[in-house]
Structure formats: C-alpha cells, structure tokens
Amino acid sequence: MPTSLFSPLLVGALTLNNRIIMAPLTRMRAMQPGDIPAAMAVTYYQQRATAGLLISEASQVSPQGKGYMATPGIYSTEQVVGWRQITDAVHAAGGKIAIQLWHVGRVSHHSLQPDQGLPVSASALAYVNKTTIMGKDGQPERVACDTPRELRADEIPMLIDSYRHATMMAREAGFDMVEVHAAHGYLLHQFQSAESNHRQDAWGGSLENRARLTLEVLDAVIASWDPQHVGIRISPLGKFNGLDDRAGEAMGLYLAEQFQQRQIAYLHLSEPDWAGGPELSNEFRQHLRLRFKGVLIGAGNYTREKAERLLNDGLIDAAAFGRPFIANPDLVRRLAESAPLNPPRPELFYGGDEEGYTDYPFLT
C-alpha cells in the first residue's frame, strides 16, 4: 500500500501526526539586544503547528555563532524564556517542535561578533559574499563578510561545549528535539569540505579528520540528551554560501554511516536543487539509504508529487517544506485538499514586523 504524506511517523522518541515537516527558515525578527525570540514568533509558529514537526529557524549556540542581524539564540536565560512561550503555544495547538542549532563560522561580519572580532572558520579563507546587518538607519544593510581567522585547536573544546550548553537550554525551553545544522556552508560544513578546510592538524586533511568536528559536536549534543531526541542536517553535493560541495558525495555517505552508528532520530538531507543545483540522483539516494537506516527527511523544492514519489520509492520517510510554509500556515490542509497555495512575498522574508510573517490567509 502506498505511503501517504499524511500518515503518522515514528521519529526517535516522537510520533508525528504526518510526514510534512516545516523546514528551518531564517526570518530575522528576534528582539534586540539579546537575540530573543519576539512575541510575534509565538503566533507564527503556532499557526503552523499542524506540521508533523516544526523545525525552528536556525539559532546560534553562542554569540560567536551569529552571522545575520536579528537571528535568535539558544544560550541565554532570556532566550529560553522567549522560546518557552513558543514551544508552549505549539504544544497547546497539538504540534511538535525541534530547534536547529547553528554556528555560521565565516558567514559573518565583525559588527555581529563579540567585541567586534573576526569570525572564525576551519581556515582563514574568505566567504566572498555578503551578509545582513542592522544599518545606521535601523534598516537591514548588506555588507561584505570579513575574512575569518582560523579557529585554534585549543578553542575547539569550548566550541563543542557551546553545542552541549545550547542543547541543555533547548530542553529547558521545552523543545521536543534538537537538530544540528551541519549544512549550507556554515561552520561544521566549512570543516567538512576540503575547499574551505586547509588545516594540517587533527581537524583537517583526511576525510575522517574533516568530519571530526561535526561528529564530536553531535556526540556532545547526544550526551546532553539522548540519540532519540537528536537529528542533523547536511547538504552534500550542493553549492551554498560560497562553498561548492559538488565533490561532497564521499563525505555525505561517510557521515551517514557515522550517524547510523549513533542511532540518531533522523537525518535531514538538504538537496541542491532549491539553490539552483542539480537534482540528486536516485543512485546517490540509494547509497545514502543503505548507510542510514533511520528516518530520512528530504528537503529542497518539494511538491506533494515529488514527496510521495520518493516516499513510495523508499528513498525518504518525510518531506520538509520551506518557502511554501512561509506563505501557507495551513500548508498541511492545502496539500491534503490539493488547494491552491498563497504566493510568497520574498521582499518580506527577512526582518520587519507581522507583515509577511503572520498575516498570510488560511483557507476558509
């Protein structure tokens, strides 16, 4: 019998009502100072609580992990209080929510860093692009990222500990799970890729060394909770944030084997086509499935038809939708009824107030 997007799914310690996941979506609306989730985020997440699982916007694990203006954190007491209002609201609506743990690495600017310092990365190699900061007029401003400094080996234990601390804070904030962000050209991905990691120590060189930070972070997160409450997101074969990882198949498959050994709740695969890359081949999907036997979530330009085709081919267990959830708080119902979708307003994706955030209409 064909698997339906609308059938329940056991993910680690959770039973989801359906297999439609809300992907993590940066919206840049956290209160300042302090990177605290805003009150309007309570409404935003509760509106979308019919998803089988909401994955929160990426949230920095420390002040150093910040790369864009007004993104929330998960390391302070004030942030925990803000997130607790959101998780309580999602639970009251019958939903489940994970938080995505984030360190941007070199995708940052000194004005976003503690003491105006340089961002850090695997190596002192520039991300030749821009990020968004708060301009002098209080409006978002695009500025070039700074060339990072190489993260020292003696700083890595403290970095790993920031993920451990963030996991404990996420538990206190009432989240149902955590997701480690190891994709999209951010810090953990910068260590994974030979393109951005030129280190000659135990954290660089061989594939195993380049994967080491991702796996040690994952182990710290698991130790702070358990594997059944932990997922991870990777993006092999994609081109994201100045990191061209089209040669990343071997790393993706190696990581999948390591995740399987740790028995984590899910592997979230961000596919390259949403960012202009090619679709993943069925051959790669099959190799990944052989190495990771747990719940596999696919994300990237998904439609109901694509999701159900891959579900029924046994290549994914759930599908994550990003931009469709921005514009359609009732996306689950719309997909179930094959109803038309609200068009998104990209000019309101980042920063601002309730407009383009909580004011998209529901089906009547």
Domain ranges for the chain: 9-348
Confidence category of residue 1, pLDDT binned at 50, 70, 90: low
Q: From its phi and psi, is residue 306 left (phi > 0), alpha (psi between -120 and 50) or beta?
A: alpha
**Strand runs (DSSP E) across 8-150, as ranges?**
9-11, 14-16, 20-22, 53-60, 97-102, 120-121, 130-134, 140-144, 149-150
State how beta strands 14-16 and 9-11 pair.
antiparallel
Instruction: Tell me how far apart the alpha carbons of residues 101 and 268 are, in angstroms, rounded to a whole number.
Output: 13
* Whether pLDDT at 261 is above 80: yes
Q: Mean per-residue pLDDT for 177-191?
A: 97
Which pTM was predicted?
0.97
Residue 66 near residue 104 (C-beta atoms within 8 A): yes
Residue 211 near residue 217 (C-beta atoms within 8 A): no
Q: Mean per-residue pLDDT for 179-188?
A: 97
Give the tokens for residue 110: 């000194």
Dihedral angle, C-alpha 250, 106, 227, 56, nearest 10 °: -120
**Residues linked to residue 98 through DSSP beta bridges, in sequence order:** 55, 177
Catalytic residue among 68, 163, 186, 357: 186
Q: 267: which residues sit within 8 A by CB, 6+ positions away?
A: 231, 232, 234, 256, 259, 288, 292, 294, 295, 296, 297
Confidence category of residue 136, pLDDT binned at 50, 70, 90: confident
Confidence category of residue 278, pLDDT binned at 50, 70, 90: confident
- The pLDDT > 70 percentage for the chain reads 99
Q: 81: which residues sit within 8 A by CB, 6+ positions away?
A: 36
Is residue 186 part of the annotated active site? The answer reads: yes
Q: What is the mean pLDDT of the chain?
A: 96
Residue type, 71: T
Inter-CA distances, 64 with 33, 114, 209, Å: 15, 6, 23
* Whether pLDDT at 244 is above 80: no
Q: Please identify, in words, the CATH class of the domain defined by 9-348.
A: alpha beta
Mean pLDDT is lowest, of 89-93, 153-157, 241-245, for: 241-245
